[in-house]
Amino acid sequence: MIVVNDNLKRNQKKVRNFKIGLIPLFIFSMLIFSTNVTFAHCDTMDGPLIADARKAIGQNNVNYVLKWVPVTNEKEIKEAFDLMMKVSGFSVEAKELSEKYFFETLVRIHRAGEGVPFTGVKPSGTPIDEKVLAADKSIEAGNLSPLEGKVSKEDMPELTKRFNKVMSLKNFDVNNVEAGREYIEAYVQFFKFAEGEAEGHAAHSHGEDVNAAAGTHRSEGHVAASGHASHIPWILSGFFFVTTLLFGVLYFRKN
């Protein structure tokens, strides 16, 4: 009877310790998802950035994607593209791995230009905000009807202005990278406004980053500041995770 009770107590202690061990992981997960880290449109396999990357591969023309990255990173993208094209012909596995490497390199550099951390390329089917999807459809359709009812009437004049600029720059020569960057700047500002982001914050910072990519440096200080600020939630998350983990270890030793 005593042995049975001892075993029962041990099992109960193991269960209790296991539950307590889940606390750091739970807290870390909550901190991550409560920070200002979002699965951006360009982060997904269904997004416009990867779509252009596939065009670049299909046409063997890296210019399809250069508009998405700063001038200072063109060399790295070109090298990654050339390496991928050389390796992809070796086997099916080599093609898959080399394309994954190219996609991740492209998204990482693009995100760095936005001043936000790279969190990986999200798989196809990743949920995207309905406003983003509607904005995409608006560009495809050539009118703002998909966004009707999703944007306030007060914001429609500014949204229309941004949309018209996007449409006026849309049909650029793919080999004119500077024109492509001008289009991407207008494209991003249109999307940010459609999503409802505050004027003068993300919309302008993203647009200024693209200008910097085209060779103008008027937003370098702003980009640097936003880049550092974007890492604060991750630093805090790591700090709280380590602290919680240490408390958990001390508890286990005590018991």
- What phi and psi, each to the nearest 5 degrees, are found at residue 139? -65, -40
pTM exceeds 0.75, yes or no: no
Angle between helix axes 202-213 and 92-114 (nearest 10 degrees) is: 110
Give pLDDT, residue 49. 95
Q: Percent of the chain, pLDDT > 90?
A: 54
| Domain extents in the chain | 2-34+232-254, 39-128, 129-218
**Which tops the pLDDT comparison, 7 or 187?**
187
Of the given ranges (183-192, 206-215, 233-242), which has the lowest mean pLDDT? Answer: 206-215
Give pLDDT, residue 178. 97
- What distance in Å separates the CA atoms of residue 56 and residue 67, rounded to the nearest whole number? 12
Structure tokens at 199: 């004027």
Of the given ranges (8-22, 117-131, 159-173, 183-197), which has the lowest mean pLDDT? Answer: 8-22
Q: Is the pLDDT of residue 13 over 50?
A: yes
Q: Which residues are registered as beta bridge partners of 122?
A: 44
- What distance in Å separates the CA atoms of residue 84 and residue 135, rounded to the nearest whole number? 32
pLDDT band for position 196 (cuts 50, 70, 90): confident
| 175 three-class SS | coil
Q: Among candidates 49, 47, 39, 51, which has minimal Cα distance to 69?
A: 49
Query: What is the mean pLDDT of the segment spanning 75-81?
Result: 97
Cβ within 8 Å of residue 163, ≥6 positions away: 138, 139, 144, 190
| 4 three-class SS | helix
Give pLDDT, residue 254. 58
**What Rg value do the Cα atoms of the chain yield, rounded?**
24
Q: What is the pLDDT of residues 15-25, one digit of tens each?
A: 455 555 555 54
Q: What is the pLDDT of residues 130-150, one digit of tens each?
A: 999 999 999 999 999 999 999
Give pLDDT, residue 204. 37
Which residue type does 227 have? G
Of the given ranges (1-5, 82-86, 91-95), which has the lowest mean pLDDT? Answer: 1-5
Q: Among candidates 127, 169, 162, 126, which has minimal Cα distance to 144?
A: 162
